[in-house]
Structure 1
Amino acid sequence: MGDSPLIDSLRKAVEAAPQDVPLRLHLAGLLLDAGSVAEAVSHIGTVLAAEPTSAAALDLMQRAVGAPASSQSSTTAPPMPPRPAAPGWESDAPSDDPTADSANRSEADLESEFDWDAAARDLGDLAAPMFLDGDEELTEPAYDLEPSTIRLADVGGMTEVKKRLDAAFLAPMRNPELRKLYGKSLKGGLLLYGPPGCGKTFLAKAIAGELGASFFSVTLADVLDMYIGQSERNLGEIFATARRNAPCVLFLDEIDALGQRRSQLRSNTMRGTVNQLLTELDGVGASNDGVFVLAATNAPWDVDVALRRPGRLDRTVLVLPPDAAAREAILRHHLKDRPVSKIDLAAAARRTDGFSGADLAHVCETAAERALLDSAATGAVRMIEMRDVDAAIGEVKPSIGPWLESARNVALFANEGGAYDDLLAYLKKRKIL
């Protein structure tokens, strides 16, 4: 026998309004009454996926698998067989009425006749498991790690920075036998600092590629939480995730925000977060073997001094604005997929001394914009030419000026122990001092 016109109409209505939960549940109830259990379960499962605590949907699901429905059900359930009468109330003699005999059967007998395997197949993956094994996880991992395919050879120029990275960080890790011979420890991390937009994150990914390690980038938003103690737990989970996925480069971006000087903090919450970071870097609760900690900041003078003591972020590399070779490589990278004609990259690199990598990307974007607007105005598409690049260089100004002013004051008046000698040498070379 076919379905009633009402059920057919409700099917079409649900297709037209799939988010209408009461309508879908009404259809599921009618389907159960009509014996179409599998289709009813599909509709109920759709509701439970969106509203796991829906009482009406749960009651209908109980009906579908043969369990007694609660009194809150929004759809009238068929009456369940009555329990057998207690001794002394009714006669235990068998009845001539087969319906009465069926009603007097125990609930255990009725349950034994229900096909639970068929019900499980009907349910499929619509309902989540009630219990988990010890090896299963209730939720998906909160953090994403990515493999790094970038190598230092992909970083244009920056010869001095690469040498410093190799001496301070990479060479001991690439040569375990020599490291063992000389007793070189792998404890501690590396702090990259310099003006904004000069490729510190790109360098960190290149280091991960050199080490054949996963790259795990962490920002302030991944750590801070409004609830007391949760920020510290987030940090603990971040380091635990890195340890489980070793070898791993754990990159702490904007470390001056996450590890700010505690003497400048007004919040006990942030103070606790810095303390937790110190504990994790020391590997107090678990070993950090295979976890290579890198951090980046524009303002290392704002980082808590305890974070920079030996065994933590004790190696420092200054990442300066790109040199001529690096500027040429950056310009080439940002123009290679655009329609260009007769671009003199060497001349453009010479004219952009003091530009950051972000400034150079903006130059290329501005040059492309000029060519696009000209093509739209004339109706004739043309290539990006050197005149567009020259005009863009004249229009875009270097963005690192404010940083240089702050760095100058630090190098002159706060260079305790020669921590910023490399910065001082750069400023003298640029005749900023």
Structure 2
Amino acid sequence: MGEDQARLIDSLLAAVRAAPTDTTLRTHLAQLLVAQGRNEEAISHIAVVLQQEPGSESARALMVQAMGAPVAPAPEFDWQRAERELDLPVPTEFAEGAPAHEVARSTVRLADVGGMEQVKQRLEAAFLGPMRNPELRRMYGKSLRGGLLLYGPPGCGKTFLAKAVAGELGAGFLTVSLADVLDMWIGRSERNLREVFQLARRSAPCVLFLDEIDALGRKRTQLANSGMRNTVNQLLSEMDGADAENEGVFVLAATNHPWDVDPALRRPGRLDRTALVLPPDLPARVAIVRYHLRDRPIAGIDVTGIARRTEGYSGADLAHLCETAAERALLDSVRSGQPRMIDMPDLEAALRQVRPSLRPWFDTARNVALYANEGGQYDELVAYMKKHRLL
């Protein structure tokens, strides 16, 4: 720490002693202390600020930072707002900092995914087994054409599984959603989609992950906009058209609403295989709770006991459960002025507050499973719902 910074902090300490109710001065002092790694000193000053101003968002954020929790990144520039203020469209290529597609490398492996053995077996049969045994693949005529559709209720790990497949293959990982493709200019959405597939082909072996495929590849009979129908047509062409050369490109897609995906996308050569990703089982819930508590100060937590009491919770629900428990401990630390560990009473209180969020999805799925299960494509879902008395 430089001498100037040290003198400034000493001056602010003296000023705070002279004016102990000046929250602005005390907050500034706490910011400097956090920047210098003197978090315990900073926490004591922030606690005083929050006692006087309990609703101060800046003080709460500073307390989270001082206690070592991650701070949300600053929001990106709002180009839509700029367009409205200028009353002019800003083309994507002229928007400084516009997001570009990047092929990443996944470090996740299937071993990192707790439970979900049936899904892992389906992924092994569809992609991983044939890739690891090229001679046997050729002997049995196993094709790597087509893709796999991961479907199921929201927040249950479909994206995490896609990253695990990329990690197992040692392949690049490129994720795409409707927001990455859709453009207001005629023909631009199709061009964007074509460029995504071209990037995946150049980066082969590559897992191309189409997130929320029900939005990107929605049933054309449900689309009133001709531009969106053209985008679906382009997607069909890129996946299995005459000019599509997708050797080394492994297409995975995810959706919460498979019944809204255009049937043409589920024909052979496209998303012709499916895997149902259900709410996490007990081993998966144990792994998820441990994951979300791993970097937090905890004491006396019965993770298995918590997991047993959260059947039917999604992975996102469990993350929210841990966040709620951490927030309770944080606010208690603020009130007392002394940081403390997250303990079982915090998790117990969070369990009373956070309830499973998947019932509406299963209510919708029930009608589809009962009345639109053409060809038995939702038999696995029907079996799960019967077992858990959701039908």
Question: Where do residues 136-155 of structure 1 align in structure 2 (5 Å cutoff)?
Answer: 142-155=100-113
1:346 maps to: 304
Equivalent position SS for 1:296: strand
Q: 1:318 aligns with which of 261, 276, 288?
A: 276
1:371 lines up with 2:333 in the alignment: no
Q: Structure with the greater relative contact order (CA < 8 A, sep ≥ 6): 1 or 2?
A: 2
5+ residue gaps in structure 2?
A: 1-97
1:87 maps to: none
1:425 maps to: 383
1:404 lines up with 2:370 in the alignment: no
1:212 lines up with 2:170 in the alignment: yes
Q: 2:184 aligns with which of 226, 239, 255?
A: 226
1:257 lines up with 2:215 in the alignment: yes
2:92 maps to: none
1:336 maps to: 294
- Distance (whole Å) between structure 2 residues aligned to residue 385 and residue 358 of structure 1: 21
The alpha-carbon distance between structure 1 residues 263 and 286, as it changes in their structure 2 partners (threshold 3 A), is: closer
1:384 maps to: 342
- Distance (whole Å) between structure 1 residues aligned to residue 352 and residue 282 of structure 2: 18
- Distance (whole Å) between structure 2 residues aligned to residue 249 and residue 354 of structure 1: 30
Q: What letter is aligned with 2:297?
A: P
Q: 1:184 aligns with which of 142, 151, 155?
A: 142
1:280 maps to: 238
- Distance (whole Å) between structure 2 residues aligned to residue 375 and residue 286 of structure 1: 59
Write out per-residue CA displacement over residues 286-309 of structure 1, whole angstroms, 9 at most, x where no aligned residue: 410000000000000000000001
Question: Where do residues 14-413 of structure 1 align in structure 2 (5 Å cutoff)?
Answer: 142-413=100-371
The answer on whether the counterparts of 2:110 and 2:161 sit within 8 Å (CA) in structure 1 is yes
Equivalent position SS for 2:295: coil
- Distance (whole Å) between structure 2 residues aligned to residue 402 and residue 155 of structure 1: 26
RMSD, aligned CA: 1.4
- Distance (whole Å) between structure 1 residues aligned to residue 178 and residue 342 of structure 2: 39
- Distance (whole Å) between structure 1 residues aligned to residue 359 and residue 317 of structure 2: 12
Equivalent position SS for 1:317: strand
Equivalent position SS for 2:286: helix
- Distance (whole Å) between structure 1 residues aligned to residue 117 and residue 143 of structure 2: 25
* Bigger-Rg structure (1/2): 1
- Distance (whole Å) between structure 1 residues aligned to residue 198 and residue 335 of structure 2: 57
Question: How far is the alpha carbon of 1:346 from its aligned partner?
Answer: 0.7
TM-score, normalised relative to structure 1:
0.67
1:83 maps to: none
Equivalent position SS for 1:243: helix
Equivalent position SS for 2:150: strand
Q: What letter is aligned with 2:190?
A: E
Q: What letter is aligned with 1:191?
A: L
Question: How far is the alpha carbon of 1:222 from its aligned partner?
Answer: 1.1
- Distance (whole Å) between structure 1 residues aligned to residue 383 and residue 139 of structure 2: 34
Question: How far is the alpha carbon of 1:381 from its aligned partner?
Answer: 2.2
The alpha-carbon distance between structure 1 residues 141 and 339, as it changes in their structure 2 partners (threshold 3 A), is: closer
- Distance (whole Å) between structure 1 residues aligned to residue 173 and residue 155 of structure 2: 20
The answer on whether the counterparts of 2:209 and 2:253 sit within 8 Å (CA) in structure 1 is yes
The answer on whether the counterparts of 2:177 and 2:212 sit within 8 Å (CA) in structure 1 is yes
- Distance (whole Å) between structure 2 residues aligned to residue 382 and residue 143 of structure 1: 42
- Distance (whole Å) between structure 2 residues aligned to residue 142 and residue 200 of structure 1: 23
Write out per-residue CA displacement over residues 222-273 of structure 1, whole angstroms, 9 at most, x where no aligned residue: 1111111111111111111100010000000000000000111101101100
- Distance (whole Å) between structure 2 residues aligned to residue 417 and residue 382 of structure 1: 56
- Distance (whole Å) between structure 2 residues aligned to residue 412 and residue 229 of structure 1: 39
Write out per-residue CA displacement over residues 210-232 of structure 1, whole angstroms, 9 at most, x where no aligned residue: 11100000011111111111111
Q: What letter is aligned with 2:278?
A: L
The answer on whether the counterparts of 2:237 and 2:244 sit within 8 Å (CA) in structure 1 is no
Question: How far is the alpha carbon of 1:283 from its aligned partner?
Answer: 4.3
1:100 maps to: none
Write out per-residue CA displacement over residues 142-169 of structure 1, whole angstroms, 9 at most, x where no aligned residue: 4211011110001111111111211222
Write out per-residue CA displacement over residues 52-107 of structure 1, whole angstroms, 9 at most, x where no aligned residue: xxxxxxxxxxxxxxxxxxxxxxxxxxxxxxxxxxxxxxxxxxxxxxxxxxxxxxxx
TM-score, normalised relative to structure 2:
0.74
Q: What letter is aligned with 1:236?
A: R
Equivalent position SS for 2:299: coil
Question: How far is the alpha carbon of 1:141 from its aligned partner?
Answer: 10
- Distance (whole Å) between structure 2 residues aligned to residue 284 and residue 234 of structure 1: 19
